[in-house]
Amino acid sequence: MDKNCEFGYRAWLQPGKSLVVPDYTFSGDDGFALKELKRGLAKMNENGHGVIDLSVTSDLVPQSYTITGSLEDVVIKGGCEAGLLYGVYGFVARLHQGHTDFNVVEKPVAAKRILNHWDNITGKIERGYSGNSLFFKDGKVGYNLKRLEDYARLLASVGINEISINNVNVTTESAKLITDYLPDVVKIADVFRPFGIRLIISVHFESPAILGGLETSDPLDAEVASWWKKVAAHVYKAIPDLAGFLVKADSEFRAGPMTLGRTQAEGANVIAAALAPFGATVYWRCFVYNCMQDWRDTATDRPKAAYDYFYPLDGQFDDNVIIQIKHGPSDFQVREPNSPLLGNMDKTRQGIEFQVTQEYTGQQKDLYALAVQWEEIFDHPVTDKANTRELIGNKIEAVVAVANVGDDTNWTGHLLAQANLYAYGRMAWNPNLTAEEVTREWAMLTFGADPAVINPIVDMVLKSRSVYEKYNAPLGIGWMVNINHHYGPSVDGYEYMKWGTYHRADTTAIGVDRTTAGTGYTSQYHPHVQAMYENKETCPEEILLYFHRLPYDYKLKSGQTLIQYIYDTHFEGVEGVEGFIKTWESLKGLLPEEAYTPVKARLQLQLTNAIEWRDVINSYFYRKTGSLDAKGRKIYT
């Protein structure tokens, strides 16, 4: 590797060359965790003597750990091998943050902390913005063993414990991961296993027909059921600890049970029955909607779809099915309400799906702190008594996200996008952590402990979500992007298309009325949440246009009209990016050149993008409304 790139490659696992620790002797468990501990301490300076005792104990619940004692005498205990490993990473991370006394008790809130890779067997990554796949190359399984190990370490260090390796859009070729390519998947599983990470394979719903040569993949067909059983037995003989299969069915031109006149539950259950003897899980995605809508049809409202299909099936899914629900009812937009399915199906196991890859959120060209958005998503009420955060680890037992990595040397393209991967692991482990806490941790582990460096970086990262939102589509309306690559402004890009995502802006108003007087979407929520969204006064303003159709002269709480708000925020968004550039320039000389220069280049690119957004959005609305900017700034006509 080019020496200049090592900093980005190491991400938040920097060697800690300026840290001083005792010259340790080790006692107790001498397995993989000890190896990782020695590795974590290897480059630190030694002074004096100390002891670290490592052990696995049944006194602690699996995956949990404790760290106690002082720098000279440390005891790390894990509830299982993986728990001990987390304890070791947790100890090293705390050294980097200057801790010298330890009284740590940690237990993950969500038992399953999952990353989904949307990697194609061609080596390309769907919605990937940092190079090619770490698992596949040129139509085959292909990887760099050292790199995979280093990746596994990064993930384990933030507590990820399951990963799917292939795209949910399974092709005829990638369907063969459970047959022809299985021996290669075994090798990948072997790399991740010591790090406490189990694999998931995305499977094709029509596998019985495609791979098995059956006439149908109908889940109620006996031959189909026995085909899945046979294949599962074959797969689990090779990888006994495979976590399960992930399925995208009846979604975006992919076949599924509904295509065959069956329900989502019937579709999931036939696979679940095959996996049950192995204690494995079917992750069944709920991203089911009509992607062939006529834009003239105002009765159909896409956000309602997942709930309409899945809610009536509560109680019908087998015990080893987890339905995987995108956090919002649209599709990973900058601002969405939470899916009304979340926490609302009492008899169905649930997972919440996030997107770490920045599809609609700047594609790792623009800086965007997802942690800030996740914090809000966790805050989102489910009832009058509970918010989403409180359901993680209870009704919502899996936290899932689409990965943002590829084979770019620094993993994520934009160096600062590493913060999103770090934050995801940490917040899946503990959703009570704030965006600020995880961002600060990440910054210290990556850039060292100097507050003069850390504070400006943390500040800038935390602001980035709001800045991006300002120059994007206004007030939760979403979607005003190029229809293919989803980057850059195209206000009407989706407007006259089949995808069901319309802002319906005309010369007087914008938005879709999703209240009970409109499409009725709000009625899918608990009455408490429904009431909040139903009323313009109580609907959180930043998401007003998701729920209400409003005239451009509608007065916001600030006193601004809607049109003036659009103009103001778009100017402010550009100013925000200019501010980031200034902040970053103030760090020149304090950061490694290999971090400073590429991030600076991305921020410059972001400025160009923000200006493009500002001018396209402002001109669009000026042309619709004829309203001049009250502050007389330049709007292109």
Active-site annotation, residues? 252, 331, 359
248 or 426, CB closer to ligand GCU?
Answer: 248
Q: What whole-number distance in Å separates Cα of residue 64 and Cα of residue 226?
A: 38
> What is the CA angle 422-423-426, rounded to 5?
90
Amino acid at 40: G
350 or 446, CB closer to ligand GCU?
Answer: 350
CB of 327 to ligand GCU, least distance (A): 12
485 or 582, CB closer to ligand GCU?
Answer: 485
Q: How distant, in Å, are the alpha carbons of 120, 170, 305, 360, 543 from that of 253?
A: 17, 12, 15, 21, 30
> What is the CA angle 426-94-33, rounded to 5?
80
Total residues at the site for ligand GCU (CB under 6 A)?
9
Give the footprint of ligand GCU on residues 113-142 (CB under 6 A): 126-127
Q: Is 490 in the site for ligand GCU (CB under 6 A)?
A: no
60 or 323, CB closer to ligand GCU?
Answer: 323
**All residues at 6 or more sequence positions from 281 whose CB lies less than 8 Å from its CB, including other chains:** 243, 244, 275, 320, 321, 322
CB of 169 to ligand GCU, least distance (A): 5
Q: Which of 301, 331, 375, 594 is close enough to bind ligand GCU by CB under 6 A?
A: 331
Q: Binding marks (x or -) toward ligand GCU, 238..257, rule CB under 6 A? A: ----------x---x-----
CB of 503 to ligand GCU, least distance (A): 18
> What is the CA angle 504-505-511, rounded to 5?
65
In 248-320, which ranges are E strands? 281-285
Closest listed residue to residue 578, CA positions, set 606, 618, 619: 606
CB of 247 to ligand GCU, least distance (A): 11
402 or 562, CB closer to ligand GCU?
Answer: 402
168 or 321, CB closer to ligand GCU?
Answer: 168
287 or 354, CB closer to ligand GCU?
Answer: 287
φ/ψ of 289, rounded to 5, equals -160, 170
**All residues at 6 or more sequence positions from 141 whose CB lies less than 8 Å from its CB, including other chains:** 121, 135, 177, 181, 184, 185, 187, 188
Q: Is 494 in the site for ligand GCU (CB under 6 A)?
A: no
Q: What b/e string do you get for 594-603 counting C-beta neighbours within 10 Å, with b at 16 or more?
A: bbbebbbebb
Q: Which of 57, 169, 259, 434 is close enough to bind ligand GCU by CB under 6 A?
A: 169
Instruction: List, in sequence order, every residue forming a beta bridge with 8; answer none if it has no partner.
Output: none
- Cα 143 from chain centre: 23
CB of 303 to ligand GCU, least distance (A): 14
Q: Is 287 in the site for ligand GCU (CB under 6 A)?
A: yes
Q: Binding marks (x or -) toward ligand GCU, 410..429, rule CB under 6 A? A: --------------------
Q: Binding marks (x or -) toward ligand GCU, 514..553, rule CB under 6 A? A: ----------------------------------------
Instruction: Check the CA dihedral 47-51-55-61 and report its sign.
Output: negative
Token readout for 559 is: 């006193």
Token readout for 410 is: 């620094």
**All residues at 6 or more sequence positions from 451 whose CB lies less than 8 Å from its CB, including other chains:** none
Give the footprint of ligand GCU on residues 201-220 (CB under 6 A): none
CB of 177 to ligand GCU, least distance (A): 18
Q: Which of 33, 109, 115, 168 is close enough to bind ligand GCU by CB under 6 A?
A: 168
CB of 402 to ligand GCU, least distance (A): 7
77 or 204, CB closer to ligand GCU?
Answer: 204
**All residues at 6 or more sequence positions from 294 whose CB lies less than 8 Å from its CB, including other chains:** 498
Give the footprint of ligand GCU on residues 53-112 (CB under 6 A): none
What is 125-143 written as a DSSP string? BTT--SSS-SSEETTEE--
Q: What is the largest CA-CA distance in the chain?
A: 76
Q: For binding to ligand GCU (CB under 6 A), which residues are involved?
A: 126-127, 168-169, 248, 252, 287, 331, 359
